[in-house]
Amino acid sequence: MRDYPQHYCGLFGIFGHPEAAELTKCGLFALQHRGQESAGIVTCHEGQFYDRREMGLVAQVFQPEHMTTLQGDTAVGHTRYSTTGSSRTDNAQPIIVDGIRGKIAIAHNGNLTNAVQIRDQLEAKGSIFQTTVDSEVILHLLSQPPHQNDLVQALRHVEGAFSLIIMTPKELIGVRDPHGFRPLSLGRLKDAYVLASETCAFDLIQAEFVRDVKPGEIVVIDRQGLRSIDAFPLHQRRSLCIFEFVYFARPDSNLSGRNVYETRVAMGRQLAREHPIDADVIVPIPDSGNPAALGYSLESQIPFQMAFVRNHYVGRSFLQPSQFIRDFNVRIKLNLIPELVRGKRVIAVDDSIVRGTTSRTRVNNLKEAGAKEVHMLVSCPPHKHPCAYGIDFPDPSKLLAAKWNRQQICEFLKADSLAYLSMEGMLQATGLNPDSFCTACYDGNYPVACSPADKHYMETQRQETLSLLNQDQPLPWRAAGTENGVKREPGASGG
């Protein structure tokens, strides 16, 4: 696990535009921050699907020669960070199946907490899965009685976090789970409808933001227009992931009517009110710490300096396993201007501390440059609990705050002091109802019952099955004394 939590996925879809593929590519560019492992686009033209899905960044996957093959005025796109299933091409989304209602493509942001149980049930009935991602179970549910061809009933069977864009030969469908864990917004571009994980994707293609897709809502877009279905009318609790505001969403996006950048500045202001420190300069840890550091500076009147300079041209080739290369990677991303901190009392502001490696390096950088004091401030509470809804820190042993108290973390970072924004202060800074968020990674209050599992569980399960087959051992679901479901009488020889 890397020091910062990894993103989930980015979704983009458009219906009724002659340049659907190109606009989807642009939308995925805007959502690249949500996932950098793979990218995919599926288009529809006269009932036929055309797709390209590969490992890599959007610019690498979609070269000009690829775009000419993606025909049609309807498209769905996906940029992925794997939270269930390995990072490999056959797990890249959107996933396509050819079922009872024809071809369907699905793009998913989030994690289904009961995917393993559903998959086991479906495989016992004969379903054959193409991937090891949780999203595919929804497609199989749509092909199985009693949910056959009934999206509402299929969705009521799954649990956890799911924002979806589904494409059929005649429709584009947007879905948000009843808790609203993951964002999904609706826009218009002239006569075309657009769906996207974040509103920043609308800005790039000059689409007009219409509204957020409501938690528990299904929006169906076809040639007759748009209709809305309330799939979970009795569900009341709302649980938007608060970490969207803290870190994940782009600062130029709006969530639930609130601008992300302004909210992060408000968090920095609240941090200054809760933890005033006598210092000479405020230094953000770029890029995600910038707005909160500015907010702290505005509230405290302590000067703000961009002492760390970010190298924006560092690619994923630097993400290597050895400790030496990892340390090198941390240093090459940010370079410090010593003249701005030498001999000064420095407040370093970051949005979060997960494993602590990067934060410790930054404190060390500042002290090596001659900072007299270094005080580390964090614009959210400490992460103490794993996430089961789509953030890749499922192992509590990797969370610094799950193992140590604040003083121990401060000593590990070698900072002069360490302080976190309170839960109440973080929620207050959003300007929204505090009860409308999921805060499970901070307080352990999980809106949907779950037991965080290894994201490679489905691959592990498959390997165990193959191992039994190679050893000519009976598979777990076969009754004793049977082979391939055929009863063998005592003493009978095999064919």
Task: Indicate if the pLDDT at residue 458 is higher than 70.
Answer: no
Asked if 21 and 163 sit in the same domain, the reply is: yes
Q: Which domain holds residue 468?
A: 457-482
Asked if 287 and 157 sit in the same domain, the reply is: no
Asked if 472 and 380 sit in the same domain, the reply is: no
Confidence label for 473 from pLDDT (cuts 50, 70 and 90): low
Residue 270 lies in a domain: yes
CA 488 to chain centre: 50
Confidence label for 398 from pLDDT (cuts 50, 70 and 90): confident
Residue 206 lies in a domain: yes
Residue 72 lies in a domain: yes
What is the structure's pLDDT at 318?
A: 36
Which amino acid does the sequence have at 44? C
The per-residue DSSP string of 9-34 comes to EEEEEEES-TTHHHHHHHHHHHTGGG
Task: Indicate if the pLDDT at residue 442 is higher than 90.
Answer: yes
Lowest mean pLDDT among 7-11, 169-173, 295-299, 336-340: 7-11
Confidence label for 325 from pLDDT (cuts 50, 70 and 90): low
Q: Provide the CATH number for the domain around residue 207.
A: 3.60.20.10
What is the structure's pLDDT at 470?
A: 57
Asked if 16 and 162 sit in the same domain, the reply is: yes
Confidence label for 452 from pLDDT (cuts 50, 70 and 90): low
Task: Indicate if the pLDDT at residue 321 is higher than 50.
Answer: no
Asked if 429 and 462 sit in the same domain, the reply is: no
What is the structure's pLDDT at 313?
A: 72
Comparing 257 with 333, which gets the higher pLDDT?
257
Asked if 374 and 269 sit in the same domain, the reply is: yes
Residue 446 lies in a domain: no
What is the structure's pLDDT at 491?
A: 31
What is the structure's pLDDT at 397?
A: 82
What is the structure's pLDDT at 333?
A: 82
Question: Which structure tokens are listed for 302?
Answer: 């302590």
What is the rounded average pLDDT of the residues 44-71?
96
Q: Catalytic annotation on 9?
A: yes
List pLDDT tens digits, range 194-218: 999 999 999 999 999 999 999 999 9
SS (H, E, C) 38-88: EEEEEEEECCEEEEEEEECCHHHHCCHHHHCCCCCCEEEEEEECCCCCCCC
Whole-number Å distance between alpha carbons of 421 and 228:
39
Asked if 208 and 291 sit in the same domain, the reply is: no
Asked if 301 and 181 sit in the same domain, the reply is: no
Examine the fold and report which residue of 175, 201, 236 is the final residue of a domain before the chain moves on. 236
Which amino acid does the sequence have at 371? A
Task: Indicate if the pLDDT at residue 157 is higher than 60.
Answer: yes
Q: Provide the CATH number for the domain around residue 413.
A: 3.40.50.2020
List pLDDT tens digits, range 423-439: 999 999 999 999 999 99
Q: Is the pTM of this model over 0.85?
A: yes
Residue 443 lies in a domain: no
Asked if 220 and 302 sit in the same domain, the reply is: no
Residue 447 lies in a domain: no
Whole-number Å distance between alpha carbons of 40 and 47:
19
Comparing 185 with 6, which gets the higher pLDDT?
185
Whole-number Å distance between alpha carbons of 349 and 286:
9
Confidence label for 365 from pLDDT (cuts 50, 70 and 90): very high
Asked if 196 and 79 sit in the same domain, the reply is: yes
**Does residue 81 contact residue 38 with C-beta atoms inside 8 Å?**
no
Residue 495 lies in a domain: no
- For CA atoms 70, 95, 256, 270, the dihedral sign is negative
Asked if 330 and 190 sit in the same domain, the reply is: no
Whole-number Å distance between alpha carbons of 299 and 196:
34
Task: Indicate if the pLDDT at residue 478 is higher than 90.
Answer: no
- Provide the number of structural domains found in the chain: 3
Asked if 47 and 98 sit in the same domain, the reply is: yes
How much of the chain exceeds pLDDT 90, in percent? Answer: 71
What is the structure's pLDDT at 254?
A: 98
221: Cβ–Cβ under 8 A, 6 or more apart, which residues? 15, 16, 171, 172, 173, 174, 193
> What are the residues facing 492 on neighbouring strands?
none
Beta strands in 301-451 (DSSP E): 308-310, 334-336, 345-350, 373-378, 417-420, 437-438
Residue 242 lies in a domain: no
Confidence label for 337 from pLDDT (cuts 50, 70 and 90): very high
Lowest mean pLDDT among 170-184, 222-236, 388-402: 388-402
Comparing 465 with 162, which gets the higher pLDDT?
162
Q: What is the mean pLDDT of the chain?
A: 87
What is the structure's pLDDT at 495?
A: 28
